Structure 1
């Protein structure tokens, strides 16, 4: 499989056989001491592989963006540019599925190699047993975190971590904290400053100098402040959107998996590696983030089994496709070969995660076409009464369901009985500001002069990120408007509860928003952009009537279509 011809991306199923095991939330995996240790050892070994090796962490991460070189013999097309990854594309969710399966497969091989270095005995036997069901974890940035914890797990924030090695327990550099290039910037492949200055990946870097440090504490704060709005966004996509075309990419009005995904990239990177398309996959947190995006996609698929990829023209070029290429479910997901003869995976052939030997806890134990138990699980995780969830899959394979426990409302998610849904819809040229940027939305007082404090303002509702790239051609900058969303319903309902707003009806909400809704644009490098200087920027408020859910095993339903709430944003720049 590996010696001749192309590398066959088969996932862990290609190593162990067809049985599927769940990828676990990272904090859940951490509770399984043996699997946690082999995960860290495997990732550490993977990151140490020579960067000239096709199966090195460097080259597999490099498929996504820089260094813009061919992988596994798949050459650049004459009209192609950038990395292989598809964004602003109907195959955005499906392209990343074999990409993650490749990473998981090679991580598994490295973990197996790390175990082989232990002396024979009980510990090695335990690790081999743990490896059989090991799959890489995801980081759920939208759900209510475990009690006493924030959204960003401590395991990814600490520079060093304790592991058990063949010679005993040791403290080692944490492979979840950063990736250190070795050699740094070989063949000048990172090209642009400050990426050519930083020897390791950084999150919210303290400077553009070589000795810059990650500021995970500031990243964690930003994530915590925006998490309730992300919870609402994920819930809206999973519960109330039923067309693959709309949830798959950010070219359609309204929210999408891609737009939610962009927001996390920017929050974590904050001008470090994660907030730039070309460099994001080098940060180890990229793989935890994208595994969660794939999980959202898999849950959405299980809820909407009949909606999938349909033909669409894609405005952005990739390494192998020119701008304007038309993709459908049979388009090759390059550079991922499904066998050593050169056949590629497609969206159709990767439609089910089980082909690669994995699943997710929420999908374990579902029977046939009955989605009611899955609906209850989604409600428990992301619905208005969500609480911290136990994520374990019990021994017999049944998910632990806490949806029957006493619910507790939170500020960020609309309640089940609400009869209106309101969303701030943001439209802007994604590549128009020469880098990634965020749109902050407020209800009430104007935000103060310090953008770093915006997320802590009492009037802050949420932020929508646009993951972009610098050094884009002028034609590409103007080529396409991207869409994002910040749900307003929960904030409006809170105003009703506090007596600031008479009701949630549109004739009351419209004038209130006109007086109180505000927005600001901030590049990830900290520069505030005047709204009139953001090409194509337009913000509007969409609203719809909602049929409330009758039980926790049902979703609310949008009645009719979303409509523009006239005048809610008029009279302000970008409105």
Structure 2
């Protein structure tokens, strides 16, 4: 079927409306600059319209729903083929996140835009809520195109694929799953893939492997060198900018155990939304850098959304957000300092009523975080997850809480290496963590603080594969983030392995001798002393795992271990340095609740 026909079908089913004056929500009170937003048209983000269907893990979708997965590949390839002038094209939807820094859905729109950044609010309490309608936008067009393709089949194949299309939703990549252990899904590492189309079996360029830029797409404003010379997206690229799928896979797998523990702790321990948002964004940043390496597209906010793995990754972030909401009913966004975006230059605050530009809902009003304020809200947009399933739509919040909590314990709780415990009893272990804080404005471009047990590798390309953990400030190419403190709590237990049952003094001594860290910025090593706001400290705290998976884990207050870091560059000598850090300009910076609970120890 010709592209123009596909597009007409997609547009009609996607509630695309163009009006002289569309309905717009009132601009946020904190900045009249929001009044520039276009009133000339609306592309409503409403999700799929064929009933509530659970999104699936990509490997499960491929193995258990092969016909649906076949439609998914065909539909995504179709959307990637759309011309850049089409607002529903993969290029334009990906460009919402960063480059080419133009308005969506009408690139010619004029207004008071910040054309140095994209619409996405990173390092903001809006991180999770904004990316939900963003994920929905691509799912919306992919599902509709998939339905259209199914209806283009004939005979018995038509009935089969129409049935398969009813289950089509965008899949996710669970990089903390014990099954995959953070390996890249095998399907996304193949440059071509065999599909069955309405015209028969054929081999196509794999739409999950990379996105190939058409004509001058990557020559647009915002694409800097060398990315304006690359014909397609690349992963784990070295200075030669050669794609290295094997390195991306190794980078991810090497961080599996720590990543899984971080996910578990983030879902179980963070008792307010703002802390959860910050913690899950930190995990998210590290995945970006592991996949992108020092020079791949995923390592820069400017370009990351063009790599198809971005969408699998962010679908999983949306899933973790939904699971946390289900296990923490009633907890929502608290007002926080505003973050500059393309459509909101210099806002004073971000809160639950902040418009999530450029997305409008079915009524033509701007999306806000109110639209996604609970786990149940995802069902209104006709999707669920196995841990927040559509089948729970009529269940109570407490029933969903118990189910989601049981899923967290089942999926992500590490095996407890305890000397004494009986089956079906609570188990208590001592958890060791690195706590790190730094001002995100310290350096231009994306930069990461890497931690090692032993010497730092001489080759920077080996850092991401050999680290035991990291904190990443994800940035755009050539950009500097506004001054704000970012933090990370990095689990040490997976790296300590057999030493975990040693005495606390022995572990202190081991970490004092072996724990080291360094900084990479655009593939270049940075002298750690240049980071004036960097603070690193080690803590331990008791963690009690419940016997009943429907119950939540209990975390004791962290205790500072001064011996480990007090003589190291960037290391701290007392808990107050972690609890009350300052920004680059000397202001007191806020830190998550866990940091405020750190207690000084006597060691």
| Residue matched to 2:199 | 167
1:379 deviation in Å?
1.6
**CA, structure 1 residues 78+201, in 2 after alignment: closer, same or farther (shift >3 Å)?**
closer
**CA, structure 1 residues 512+442, in 2 after alignment: closer, same or farther (shift >3 Å)?**
same
Q: Is the 8 A contact 1:80 1:321 kept in 2?
A: no
Q: Is the 8 A contact 2:176 2:259 kept in 1?
A: yes
Correspondences of 1:405-444 after superposition (within 5 Å): 417-443=427-453
| Residue matched to 1:28 | 60
**CA, structure 1 residues 264+207, in 2 after alignment: closer, same or farther (shift >3 Å)?**
same
| Residue matched to 2:276 | 247
Give CA-to-partner distance per residue, 1:406-464, whole Å, 9 cap, x none: x999xxxxx97343222212222324332222322223x3234233344565xx52233
Give CA-to-partner distance per residue, 1:212-239, whole Å, 9 cap, x none: 5411101001111111110010001011
Q: Distance in 1 between matches of 2:252 and 2:218?
A: 33
Give CA-to-partner distance per residue, 1:92-115, whole Å, 9 cap, x none: 000000111111001112222333
Q: Is the 8 A contact 2:207 2:308 kept in 1?
A: yes
| Residue matched to 2:183 | 151
Q: Is the 8 A contact 1:241 1:247 kept in 2?
A: yes
**CA, structure 1 residues 323+513, in 2 after alignment: closer, same or farther (shift >3 Å)?**
farther
1:565 deviation in Å?
2.9
Deviates more, 1:376-385 or 1:55-64: 376-385
2:449 matches 1:446: no
| Residue matched to 1:109 | 144
1:517 deviation in Å?
1.6
Name which of 180, 203, 223 aligns with 2:235: 203
Secondary structure of the residue aligned to 2:117 is coil
TM-score (normalizing by structure 2): 0.81
Secondary structure of the residue aligned to 2:255 is helix
1:190 deviation in Å?
4.1
| Residue matched to 1:548 | 545
2:311 matches 1:287: yes
Give CA-to-partner distance per residue, 1:33-82, whole Å, 9 cap, x none: 11011000000000001101111111111001111101135765356741
Stretches of structure 1 lacking an aligned partner (at least 5 in a row): 250-255, 387-406, 410-414
Secondary structure of the residue aligned to 2:140 is helix
**CA, structure 1 residues 186+528, in 2 after alignment: closer, same or farther (shift >3 Å)?**
closer
Secondary structure of the residue aligned to 1:138 is coil
1:489 deviation in Å?
2.7
2:510 matches 1:494: no
Correspondences of 1:336-375 after superposition (within 5 Å): 336-339=359-362, 341=364, 343-351=365-373, 352-364=377-389, 365-366=391-392, 367-368=395-396, 369-370=398-399, 371-375=401-405
**CA, structure 1 residues 279+420, in 2 after alignment: closer, same or farther (shift >3 Å)?**
same
**CA, structure 1 residues 68+455, in 2 after alignment: closer, same or farther (shift >3 Å)?**
closer
Q: Distance in 2 between matches of 1:455 and 1:468?
A: 17
Secondary structure of the residue aligned to 1:142 is coil
Q: Distance in 1 between matches of 2:238 and 2:468?
A: 26
| Residue matched to 1:412 | none
Correspondences of 1:134-145 after superposition (within 5 Å): 134-145=168-179
Q: Is the 8 A contact 2:102 2:115 kept in 1?
A: no
**CA, structure 1 residues 494+77, in 2 after alignment: closer, same or farther (shift >3 Å)?**
farther
Give CA-to-partner distance per residue, 1:374-422, whole Å, 9 cap, x none: 2222122111139xxxxxxxxxxxxxxxxxxxx999xxxxx97343222
Q: Is the 8 A contact 1:159 1:174 kept in 2?
A: yes
Stretches of structure 2 lacking an aligned partner (at least 5 in a row): 1-14, 19-40, 420-424, 572-603
Count of residue pairs the alignment pairs up? 518
Secondary structure of the residue aligned to 1:236 is helix
**Higher helix proportion, which one?**
2
| Residue matched to 1:252 | none
Deviates more, 1:3-12 or 1:91-100: 3-12
TM-score (normalizing by structure 1): 0.84
Q: Distance in 2 between matches of 1:198 and 1:416?
A: 54
Give CA-to-partner distance per residue, 1:197-255, whole Å, 9 cap, x none: 101111122555xxx54111010011111111100100010112121111112xxxxxx
User: Any runs of at least 4 consecutive aligned residues in structure 1 with deviations exceeding 6 A, and if so which?
Assistant: none
Q: Distance in 2 between matches of 1:30 and 1:137?
A: 9
Q: Is the 8 A contact 2:176 2:182 kept in 1?
A: no
Q: Distance in 1 between matches of 2:217 and 2:418?
A: 50
Q: Is the 8 A contact 1:80 1:322 kept in 2?
A: no
Secondary structure of the residue aligned to 1:440 is strand
Q: Distance in 2 between matches of 1:221 and 1:187?
A: 32
Secondary structure of the residue aligned to 1:424 is strand
RMSD (Å) for aligned C-alpha atoms: 2.5
2:535 matches 1:538: yes
| Residue matched to 1:89 | 124
Q: Distance in 2 between matches of 1:29 and 1:486?
A: 32
Correspondences of 1:26-65 after superposition (within 5 Å): 26-31=58-63, 32-65=65-98
Name which of 436, 454, 470 aligns with 2:477: 470
Q: Is the 8 A contact 1:202 1:214 kept in 2?
A: yes
Q: Distance in 2 between matches of 1:455 and 1:283?
A: 19
1:363 deviation in Å?
1.7
Give CA-to-partner distance per residue, 1:180-210, whole Å, 9 cap, x none: 11123366334310111101111122555xx
Secondary structure of the residue aligned to 1:290 is helix
| Residue matched to 1:266 | 289
